[in-house]
Amino acid sequence: MNKNEIIYKLRILIAENRIEDALSQIHEYTQNNKMTPKATNDELIVIKREYYDLKSELVKNILSSQEYALRMNRLASNLLGVVNSLERIGDEMVYQNYKPVEKPRKVSISFSAIIWSGVFVLLIGLSIVVIEITGLHALKTHNSIFTPLEIGLLLIILGALFLAYMSARIPPNVEIYTEKKSSKATIFSYLINPKLHFAIIFSALSLFLIKRFLL
């Protein structure tokens, strides 16, 4: 077995971390009686140099791999800490901004019919007022304490009061429901608006008082 074969075999043994086998191979090579002492010494020097070079390279690789593993472990720990912090911050933000979602309730058919009844009364009063203002005087009252115009204003006030009362009974999370999305839903949303009702009541009551006591 020549020098190159010995070195090749030593490389394999060291790569497999079989250090004891590599040392025994060196010992066997130096104890070979077929080689001259000078040749044995020369070959031994070369083999030992190769062996120590390979051993130092092996140790360096082991140390560098351990250092790399430690660095990766520290990096993973830091990343895990950052992720945990972000999750904690996210949980706090979600908790602070959490609002329970209530399912909207729909207005029943009978309830909406009551609302439309109030609208009907209001429209009758409005029609009477329009008739009287335009001068048609189609309505005649006999032995009545109220004139047709005053009756119309009172009907408007009564209808608006009725609508305001029924609107107050509707929950704040109510959903305006119609079978088909149309302008009917928009009109109905105005009908259950208490601010609009009180504006109508104030206007009609003001006109009634002016007509009753000033004119």
pLDDT score at 202? 83
Q: Name the burial class of residue 37, with classes exposed (0-12), middle (13-18) and buried (19+) by CB atoms within 10 angstroms of its CB.
A: exposed
pLDDT score at 191? 67
Q: Can you give the pTM of this predicted structure?
A: 0.40
pLDDT score at 213? 76
Instruction: Going from the first residue of the chain to its last (215 residues), give the mean pLDDT of each consecutive group of 10, the final group possibly shorter.
Output: 67 69 68 51 63 66 67 71 69 60 53 70 80 64 69 83 74 51 56 76 82 72
pLDDT score at 47? 63
pLDDT score at 35? 47
DSSP states of 111-146: HHHHHHHHHHHHHHHHHHHHHHHTT------SS-SS
pLDDT score at 106? 55
pLDDT score at 36? 47
Compute the distance between CA of residue 199 and CA of residue 202 in angstroms, rounded to an integer.
Answer: 5
Compute the distance between CA of residue 83 and CA of residue 62 in angstroms, rounded to an integer.
Answer: 31
pLDDT score at 129? 79
Give the Cβ contact number of residue 164 at 10 Å. Answer: 19
